[in-house]
Amino acid sequence: MFLVKRNTEFYDLFARSAEYFHQGALIINQVMTDYSRAEEKMKTITELEHAADDINDKIIEKLNHTFITPIDREDIYAIANGLDDGVDFLQGTLQRAIMYRIDTIRPTALQMSQLLIEATVDIAEVFKLLHKLQHNEDKILEYTARISKIESAGDKLYREEVAQLFATVKDPIEIIKWKDILEYLENTLDHCESLADMIRGVVMKYA
């Protein structure tokens, strides 16, 4: 058993994992901007997903061998898996975009990918601040509140776009394709809010 050095090791790993989540969001946005790069970006996001898995494994291994942890073990485990799952959501979104061989990117999908960039930037910033939680409480809560607003904006876009699909698109296969892709984008934004909720819970415990 060993103690956490300077109380930052878990936070450093969280920050790296959050950065992978953000990089994944950038990849999705690049594909929604230029679909011709989808196959190339699939390779990149797969490598990113493997890197995120490695970080998650390191966190769990460290958790299993650490006597005193800076926050509850359950919180560390939930946050680690939550960050890793975020990259999985993004990979799933890109897999569907490729599988369906979409012809034209719908503007709302691009808008939602831009919201994902905003949300993951804020998530990455939160994890840079978390190691000094008491000192950074207000800033952390400001970021988490912003993530919730971003998710609400994404939910509104999703509902409006699905209604638009059913109202204007005649091909039912096209509707199914885009509803699935948009749903994955919305689920990823929901996941960002879930991470924000986890962080708020940690703040309430320790600030």
**Token couple for 154:** 């994404």
Average pLDDT over the chain reads: 94
* pTM (two decimals): 0.93
CATH code of the domain made up of 5-206: 1.20.58.220
* CB atoms near residue 46 (< 10 Å): 13
**What's the average model confidence in pLDDT over 37-57?**
96
**What's the average model confidence in pLDDT over 174-179?**
96
> Looking at 89-93, 94-98, 147-151, 202-206, which range is the least confident one?
202-206
What confidence category does residue 7 fall into, taking pLDDT thresholds of 50, 70 and 90?
low
Q: Give 106-109 contacts, CB < 8 A, sequence gap 24+.
A: 106/161, 106/178, 106/182, 108/157, 108/158, 108/160, 108/161, 108/164, 108/182, 109/32, 109/161, 109/178, 109/181, 109/182, 109/185
Compute and round to an integer the Cα radius of gyration of the chain.
Answer: 18
